[in-house]
């Protein structure tokens, strides 16, 4: 078998789930002349139909991308301790990679809140992703600590609707408004559990190729940037239709 034919057959085999596209006789069962003729047949067919190779390589690339996404989503779905808003048992989960210093995150805040208000089968998980400043990290730590006290939804609203720059004072004001125990909050902010949750989010973002905020994940769709409520509704409706 020529190197060209062998390489193409390997690509086709991988692309179609490991099932060989042709069963070749064992070397002992075929003579040199027949083997040469068979090689020529394959080579002539592939050269005459190069789109077969392209389609096979595209199929292989898709399979590899799907496999990588499956692994990344498994990391994302490990969300114990992450702040969330909405029905904890909802069948639809939206993950938002967010930074409290991000203007675009504040832009997507209202549509997400509206969606949660109108659909009680949606849960929003905030993946705290502090990338813009040191105060982003402080706010992220406070958000995770607020979740541990069960006051995150009110904390999140206060942070997202506050005016001015994020500071320790504004973070503590939002936590106080939400009814948090401030002494416990500040102690938890510097704890190992909060650090682990934020680091887990960083790992998930890297696997999903999310480098900015907001980054939304709805089902298997990774959406880099803010979208409107109509697009959110469409994605969710398609998920429900697909899942029956």
How far does CA 102 lie from the centroid of its chain? Answer: 19
> What's the pLDDT at 20?
44
**C-alpha to C-alpha distance for 168 and 49, rounded to whole angstroms:** 65
**C-alpha to C-alpha distance for 80 and 125, rounded to whole angstroms:** 10
Q: Which CATH number fits domain 84-243: 3.40.50.150, 3.40.50.1100, 3.40.30.10, 3.30.110.30?
A: 3.40.30.10
Per-residue pLDDT of the chain (244 residues; tens, 9 = 90+): 455 555 555 555 554 454 444 444 444 455 677 677 777 777 777 778 877 777 777 776 667 666 666 666 777 887 899 999 999 999 999 999 999 999 999 999 999 999 999 999 999 999 999 999 999 999 999 999 999 999 999 999 999 999 989 999 999 999 999 999 999 999 999 999 999 999 999 999 998 889 999 999 998 889 998 999 999 999 999 999 988 7
> What's the pLDDT at 21?
45
Using alpha carbons, list the distances in angstroms from residue 89 to 56, 95, 127, 235, 243: 41, 15, 18, 19, 16
Domain-wise residue ranges, the chain: 3-67, 84-243
Is the alpha carbon torsion for 174, 179, 184, 188 positive or negative? negative
């Amino acid at each position: 078998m020529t190197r060209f034919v062998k390489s193409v057959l390997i690509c086709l085999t991988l692309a179609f789930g490991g099932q060989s596209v042709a069963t070749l006789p064992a070397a002992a069962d075929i003579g040199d002349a027949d083997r040469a003729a068979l090689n020529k047949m394959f080579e002539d067919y592939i050269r005459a139909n190069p789109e077969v190779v392209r389609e096979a390589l595209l199929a292989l690339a898709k399979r590899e991308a799907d496999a990588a996404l499956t692994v990344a989503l498994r990391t994302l779905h490990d969300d114990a301790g992450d702040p969330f808003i909405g029905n904890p048992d909802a069948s639809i989960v939206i993950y938002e990679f967010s930074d409290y210093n991000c203007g675009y995150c504040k832009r997507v805040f209202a549509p997400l809140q509206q969606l949660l208000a109108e659909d009680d089968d949606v849960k929003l998980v905030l993946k705290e992703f502090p990338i813009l400043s040191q105060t982003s990290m402080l706010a992220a730590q406070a958000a995770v600590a607020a979740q541990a006290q069960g006051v995150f939804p009110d904390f999140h609203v206060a942070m997202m609707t506050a005016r001015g720059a994020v500071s320790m004072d504004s973070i503590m004001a939002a936590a106080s408004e939400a009814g948090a125990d401030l002494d416990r909050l500040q102690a938890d902010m510097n704890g190992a559990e909060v650090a682990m949750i934020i680091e887990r989010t960083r790992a998930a973002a890297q696997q999903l190729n999310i480098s900015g905020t907001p980054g939304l994940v709805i089902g298997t769709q990774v959406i880099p940037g803010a979208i409107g409520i109509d697009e959110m509704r469409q994605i969710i409706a398609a998920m429900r239709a697909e899942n029956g």
